[in-house]
Amino acid sequence: MVEIKLTPGHGRDATALTERRPLGATIARYRMTRETVGSGGEETALIVEVQRGGGVIRLEASAQRDDGAEPDFEPAWSALATARCTETR
């Protein structure tokens, strides 16, 4: 699952987003967490924030795998890299 939100002002937990990754012309702040949950295997969550247009775009993605392999979050990163903010009335 991938969820992308635009929030005005500052992000919710910027100090907890300790990793950095270039994303187009900006730098994304992010973190990944892993939890062992139930019979579906390990769940990995990715939280990313980037500054755009006076606000913050926040991406939350999660994947659950029982084979021990790393989840592929590249589609989520690509979605965030191409996200555009427009004003609607």
Q: Where do the structural domains in the chain lie, given as residue ranges?
A: 2-82
Tell me what pLDDT residue 21 has: 95
Summarize pLDDT for 24-48 with one digit per residue, the tens.
888 999 999 988 866 777 889 999 9
**Cα→Cα distances 54→57, 62, 86, Å:** 10, 27, 12
pTM given for the model: 0.80
* CATH class of the region 2-82: mainly beta
State the DSSP code for 16: G
Percent of all residues in the chain with a pLDDT value above 90, rounded to a whole number: 22
